[in-house]
């Protein structure tokens, strides 16, 4: 549960509230009831101690597990047709060794 307290109030008079806003005893009001100098409550624990915000920042990682640079879009995942086309292109480019042809029943030299 979140608690809030005014840090300008003396320690003996300080109490915690479950809502944030202006401290009624420290804020100065005009004759019309409008706020002249606002004093905001600060987030505290249940005992009135101020809470420090700690942010754990994890680096963004792309699909290959490499940390991604900030400001660059993540590469999209290739479709099945693109993967099949790439596999066919790789199969055409790879030369077949002569020993494989001999074992497979091809002509001998």
Q: Which of 24, 25, 14, 18 is CA-nearest to residue 49?
A: 14
Q: Which of 21, 13, 17 is CA-nearest to residue 4?
A: 17
Cα–Cα distance, 103 to 34 (Å, whole number): 96
Residue 98, token pair as written in the block: 């002569």
pLDDT at 46: 86
Mean pLDDT by 10 residues, the chain (109 residues): 87 84 90 91 88 79 72 77 80 65 60
Helix (H) or strand (E) holding 103: helix 98-103
Cβ neighbour number for residue 69 with a 10 Å cutoff: 9
15 close to 5: Cβ distance less than 8 angstroms:
yes
With 0.85 as the threshold, say if the pTM is over it: no
pLDDT at 70: 67
Cα–Cα distance, 37 to 26 (Å, whole number): 9
């Amino acid at each position: 549960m979140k608690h809030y307290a005014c840090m300008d109030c003396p320690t003996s008079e300080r109490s915690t509230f479950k809502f944030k806003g202006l401290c009624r005893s420290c804020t100065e009001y005009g004759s019309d009831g409008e706020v002249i100098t606002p004093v905001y409550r600060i987030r505290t624990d249940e005992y009135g101690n101020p809470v420090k915000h700690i942010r754990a920042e994890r680096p963004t990682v792309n699909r290959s597990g490499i940390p991604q640079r900030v400001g660059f879009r993540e590469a999209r995942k290739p479709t099945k047709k693109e993967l099949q086309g790439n596999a066919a292109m790789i199969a055409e480019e790879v030369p077949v060794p002569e020993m494989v042809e001999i074992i497979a029943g091809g002509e001998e030299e």
